[in-house]
Amino acid sequence: MTDVAVLGGGIGGLTAAHELAERGLDVTVFEANDRFGGKARSMPIADEPAALHGEHGFRFFPAFYRHVVETMERIPTDGGTVADNLVETEATLIASTTAPERIAETSTPDSLRGWLEALRPAFAEDLPRDDVRFLLERLLYLLTACEQRREAELDDISWWEFIDAENRSAEFRDRLAYATQALVALRPQVGSARTVGTIYLQLLFGQLDPSEPTERILNAPTNEAWIDPWVRHLETLGVEFRANTPARGLAFDGRRITGVELADGRTVAADEFVLAVPVEVAPAFVTPELRRAAPELGRIEHLETAWMNGIQFYLSEDVELTRGHQVYADAPWALTSISQRQFWTDYDLEKRGPDDVAGVLSVIASDWETPGIVHEKPARECTRGEIAEEIWAQLKTHLNAVDRRLRDDMLVDWFLDPSIIETENGVENRSPLLINTVGSLRNRPPADVGVRNLTLASDYVRTNSDLASMESANEAGRRAANAVLDRRGGRGRAQIWELREPAVFEPLKRQDRLRYRLGLPHPAAVTQSLRGVTRRLGERV
């Protein structure tokens, strides 16, 4: 018998366990896989003690990631904390097959010219002036809209519709509308304007805040730099970990959860249960009885997912590219990458297998529906080998225009996310990503649902961070822990932060809050409507 049974050892589950164990509760974490960390975990590419690690996809920590970084600051390792393993990036390479490469600085500006450059979105460079002006107007609309309007109105329209992409220039669509797919695997035609717009602003504010690094990444594979020290620390707090122990259901007596049924037939009892499994797994735990007791649980099955999975190329030469991300603007499979070796300053590749590896290029593919350039079919219809060949080819078409940065003879090996499983008709994805589609907010449950000893801790929970991410999962874990702590009383609560937006816009938000209560539109919507009428009249004349 344990105080709290946490089902799922990803970021949400580990965070809930951390907050509860620090406050003296007895916690047991059950994880279906052999390693903890969920989608954030890294894993050896071979059954050897010193094998290199592959990942579901590379990690990055933008400035608005407050919850997850604060947790890392409380995990001791090597005389410091895990947060010391975060390294700041400097620039993003935007590579194209049809235009010259562009470099977008990610460090905080240190001059007036730098600040002016940062205020202009990187993807907006060289856009028609009317498009840039329109984009800024749309962002100001978001900044001055009250939260009630964002939830009720902006969650019900797509980012594509909100930025009027259909009627803007082709450059605008390519660089701004479709940029969301490379960032969050979310097609702009289906992504919620509320979510995409909010995160777009947070990324922009992160670059303008001199008190925080714009974005950081880890200085080693994720498990070695973060997850394994985290698990060791939680063990010192008394947390019990059970890997390779999948759960298959919850026993419910109509009022409370009485136990968790494990795949091996055993039932584990606890006072509290935290369901921290991914969105594609959670509906299997929601019985008709649970759905009647907590209707919000039944809506989880309506949430949608997309594929956003990673592959690592191990190279005989270290190809640094930029000290940050690379975005492949017109790659059919919406590719992004990081050249890792330059950040892994204390990580000895020479002592890791396979031999002759001097560089690691970690790539994420976010579009699995568009035909490629080699096999001329979507990624989901390819074999694993064809996926590797296709991604390598798309990288070369973007990076080799100036010089031969990537050559076939430097490719030592590759590692594709093992969640991509081959089938007779291509591949299936055992670990898809939650996407914030239009209207999906209403289907996202709170951490504290209507069952007296059940809470949720996963990135589909309603959070301030909103987007499916490590940050949202960490915040959900804190919210789940707070629900448990509130029921038990007197132990203090985990801190939750709101997203930060410039205070100068607060009076305008208050004004819009009043307009919304009165049933009036946002002032910018009225202006936009008048402009539309004027444009149509002009066309007739």
What domains does the chain contain, in order, with CATH numbers? 4-32+245-304+436-488 (3.50.50.60), 107-208+504-535 (no CATH), 306-429 (3.30.9)
Measured between alpha carbons, how far is 330 from 231 in angstroms, rounded to an integer?
40
pLDDT tier for residue 9 given thresholds of 50, 70 and 90: very high
CB of 409 closer than 8 Å to CB of 401: no
Say if residue 174's pLDDT is above 90. Answer: no
Say if residue 176's pLDDT is above 70. Answer: yes
pLDDT on residue 110: 58
pLDDT on residue 164: 92
Measured between alpha carbons, how far is 88 from 521 in angstroms, rounded to an integer?
41
CB of 145 closer than 8 Å to CB of 512: yes
**Beta carbons within 10 angstroms of residue 276's beta carbon:** 32
Say if residue 116's pLDDT is above 50. Answer: no
Q: What are the tens digits of pLDDT across the range 44-60?
A: 998 888 899 999 988 98
Measured between alpha carbons, how far is 379 from 307 in angstroms, rounded to an integer?
10
CB of 420 closer than 8 Å to CB of 429: yes
Q: Nearest Cα to 57, choosing from 277, 325, 316?
A: 325
pLDDT on residue 208: 77
Q: What are the tens digits of pLDDT across the range 353-397?
A: 788 999 999 999 999 999 999 999 999 999 999 999 999 999 999
Task: Determine the distance from the C-alpha atom of residue 397 to the mean position of all C-alpha atoms in its chain, rounded to a whole number.
Answer: 27
From start to end of 52-105, where are the E strands? Answer: 53-55, 61-62, 76-77, 80-81, 86-88, 91-95, 102-105
The residue-averaged pLDDT of 299-320 equals 95
pLDDT on residue 89: 93
pLDDT on residue 276: 98
The residue-averaged pLDDT of 321-329 equals 90
pLDDT on residue 536: 38
DSSP state of 225: I
Measured between alpha carbons, how far is 538 from 541 in angstroms, rounded to an integer?
5
pLDDT on residue 79: 87
pLDDT tier for residue 352 given thresholds of 50, 70 and 90: confident
CB of 93 closer than 8 Å to CB of 327: yes
pLDDT on residue 152: 92
Measured between alpha carbons, how far is 210 from 68 in angstroms, rounded to an integer?
20
* Predicted TM-score (pTM) of this structure: 0.92
> Which span out of 100-114, 156-170, 218-232 was modeled with the highest average pLDDT?
218-232
Measured between alpha carbons, how far is 515 from 522 in angstroms, rounded to an integer?
7
Find all residues with CB under 8 Å of 497, minimum gap 6, and list them: 66, 67, 464
pLDDT on residue 16: 98
Say if residue 121's pLDDT is above 70. Answer: no
pLDDT on residue 184: 66
**Which residues are 42's β-sheet partners?**
55
CB of 32 closer than 8 Å to CB of 431: no
Say if residue 535's pLDDT is above 60. Answer: no
- The rounded percent of the chain whose pLDDT value lies above 90 is 71
Quote the tokens at residue 214. Answer: 């714009």
pLDDT tier for residue 330 given thresholds of 50, 70 and 90: confident
Q: What are the tens digits of pLDDT across the range 497-531?
A: 999 998 999 999 999 999 999 999 998 875 554 34
Give phi and psi for 3, each to the nearest 5. Answer: -65, -50
> Which span out of 121-130, 151-160, 172-181 was modeled with the highest average pLDDT?
151-160
Q: What are the tens digits of pLDDT across the range 424-476?
A: 999 999 999 999 999 999 999 999 998 999 999 999 999 998 888 999 999 99
Measured between alpha carbons, how far is 425 from 380 in angstroms, rounded to an integer?
8
Reduce the DSSP state of residue 384 to 3 states and report it. helix
The residue-averaged pLDDT of 391-410 equals 91
For the chain, the average pLDDT equals: 89
pLDDT on residue 489: 84
Say if residue 273's pLDDT is above 90. Answer: yes
pLDDT tier for residue 181 given thresholds of 50, 70 and 90: low
Measured between alpha carbons, how far is 321 from 298 in angstroms, rounded to an integer?
46
- The rounded percent of the chain whose pLDDT value lies above 70 is 91
For 323-358, the three-class secondary structure string (H helix, E strand, C coil) is CCEEEECCCCCCEEEEECCCCCCCCCHHHCECCCCC
**Beta carbons within 10 angstroms of residue 489's beta carbon:** 6
pLDDT on residue 192: 93
Say if residue 537's pLDDT is above 90. Answer: no
Region class of 410: left (phi > 0), else alpha (psi between -120 and 50), else beta: alpha
Cis-peptide, bond into residue 354, ω within 30° of zero: yes
Q: Nearest Cα to 390, choosing from 319, 306, 321, 328?
A: 328
Measured between alpha carbons, how far is 220 from 344 in angstroms, rounded to an integer?
5
Is the sign of the CA dihedral 465, 471, 472, 476 positive or negative?
Answer: negative
CB of 67 closer than 8 Å to CB of 471: yes
From start to end of 31-185, where are the E strands? Answer: 42-44, 53-55, 61-62, 76-77, 80-81, 86-88, 91-95, 102-105
Q: Nearest Cα to 162, choosing from 201, 190, 121?
A: 190
Instruction: Tell me the C-alpha to C-alpha distance, in Å, between residue 146 and each of 46, 150, 194, 512, 514.
Output: 51, 6, 11, 6, 9
pLDDT on residue 127: 75
Say if residue 423's pLDDT is above 70. Answer: yes
Pairing state between β 270-275 and 2-7: parallel
